[in-house]
Amino acid sequence: MQFKRFIRTLLPAPVLSLYHWTVAWLVALFYGLPARYLKIIGITGTKGKTTTANMLWYLLQGSGHKTALVSTALMAIGEKNWLNNLKMTMPGRVHMQKFLRRAVKEGCSHVVIETSSEGLAQWRHVSLPYQVAVFTNLSPEHLEAHGSYEKYRAAKIRLFKVVAKKNGLSIINLDDDSSQYFINQSGSNIWGYTFQNSENNKTKKIIKGSIKEISPYQAIFEVNGFEVNLSLGGEFNAYNALAAMTTALALGIGLKKSVQVLESYKGTPGRLEFIQQNPFSIVVDYAHTPESLEAVYKTFKREGRLIAVLGSCGGGRDKAKRPILGKLAGEYADYVIVTDEDPYDEPPRSIMEAVAEGVKETEKKEGEDYWIIENRREAIHKALTLAREGDVVVITGKGAEQWMCVANNKKIPWDDRQVVREQLADLENN
């Protein structure tokens, strides 16, 4: 694996791009181009794409369409679903084509694919005839991998260009600052969704929602006279639901049906997932960008004391965000525990120190209201011992991921949710 990475660094970017493009087509041809038998819906963006993809899969399933799902959290074929343990949002070419062939054999008519910027940059999408593209939002992420924010954004737009060429359907979040950029390159069949009463004369149809109530446990909003009572908290989940409902409507599923189905949706693994709510709450969330982390913290700002456990991904990834994450934790949380996440080949301590620099800016003092604990299990244990009745422990960065990636391409089995349950049991027995 290290040798493969070394070779890739030597290849000129155009050659590497051609290699990815060629392999994608060869693998698809080998498996018989299974994607041509499916209606393919791609969901991309910086935040919310996993939950939106899972909600849309649930909506399609609940409306009588046997649907497959590829997402960071879950994989599914019809009602069969399992945690994604690949440590990849968009599977490699061989795995993807095998999965799609199986979906076709088992009678699926649709597939929802969470489509990542890195997957798009590596042409993993070229053999997939997407008919629908959904844009959630955009903020800086994976900049080292792409080279710049502009290149990151350009990778995302590839999905919409593919759909536009086939006169497919684009679904755009009109409330996002980058919406016009995506609209300009999305052809003429564009639907928009908004909670801010946004308008755009290039859209074919706009679905407008109105938020009624937001809490950590619930989001209530109205769409065209239908009230949606979502058993998931946070404004961001209202946006995810509106994106899924707009896409479903464009596919012929009425809002009334969507409301009926979504009100039984219990959530996406590792996305604002409550492990317990009493006597204090424990939440596991995948948030790993400043925007998503702040959104999670804001959701609990009116609760009791907030105890934050966080780290930052390593391997040379998004280094600039590390102190920003730490500062946000310091500003919102009463206690902060900085820990290891996925260091890859970078020294874990250096990553944690960079996050802690941001915490220090909020005048927190090490050993009093913030700690650096490299062992993530011990960090979670510390957070649980600090918690009192009415508090909220928020553990971010990994969500429902099944591995921790460390040096020399090693993966250690890991699940934040399971570790929390084990530590709770230990505390109860001692």
The answer to whether 208 and 223 are in contact (CB under 8 A) is yes
Q: Which residue blocks in 230-346 are alpha helix, DSSP H?
A: 235-250, 255-262, 290-299, 321-332
The DSSP output letter for 264 is: T
Q: Which domains does the chain have, with CATH numbers?
A: 9-262 (3.40.1190.10), 273-429 (3.90.190.20)
Going by their DSSP bridges, the two strands 205-215 and 74-77 should be labelled as unpaired
Using DSSP's 3-state secondary structure scheme, residue 282 falls into strand
- What's the chain's length in residues? 430
Axis crossing angle, helix 235-250 with helix 49-62, rounded to the nearest 10: 50
Nearest to 111 by CA among 91, 137, 88: 91
Query: What is the Cα–Cα distance from 101 to 108, expressed in whole angstroms?
Result: 10
Angle at 406 between CA 387 and CA 20, to 5 degrees: 125
Interacting residues of 359 by C-beta distance below 8 A, sequence separation 6+: 326, 327, 329, 330, 336, 338, 370
Nearest to 195 by CA among 232, 246, 262, 242: 242
The answer to whether 190 and 183 are in contact (CB under 8 A) is yes
Low-confidence stretches of the chain (pLDDT < 50) are 1-4, 6-7
Query: What is the Cα–Cα distance from 310 to 373, expressed in whole angstroms?
Result: 10
What is the reported pLDDT for 1?
Answer: 43
pTM over 0.85: yes
Residues forming beta bridges with residue 134, ordered by sequence position: 43, 171
Query: What is the Cα–Cα distance from 90 to 72, expressed in whole angstroms?
Result: 7
What is the reported pLDDT for 302?
Answer: 74
The distance in angstroms from the start CA to the end CA of the chain is: 44
What is the reported pLDDT for 146?
Answer: 61
The answer to whether 374 and 339 are in contact (CB under 8 A) is yes
Query: What is the Cα–Cα distance from 236 to 242, expressed in whole angstroms?
Result: 10
H-helix or E-strand spanning residue 134: strand 130-135
What is the reported pLDDT for 197?
Answer: 94
Query: What is the Cα–Cα distance from 400 to 402, expressed in whole angstroms?
Result: 6
Q: Residue 297 burial (CB < 10 Å; 0-12/13-18/19+)?
A: buried
Q: Which residue blocks in 254-289 are alpha helix, DSSP H?
A: 255-262
Query: What is the Cα–Cα distance from 175 to 52, expressed in whole angstroms?
Result: 16
Amino acid occupying residue 256: K
- In DSSP notation, 135-180 reads E------SHHHHSSHHHHHHHHHHHHHHHHHTT-EEEEETTSTTHH
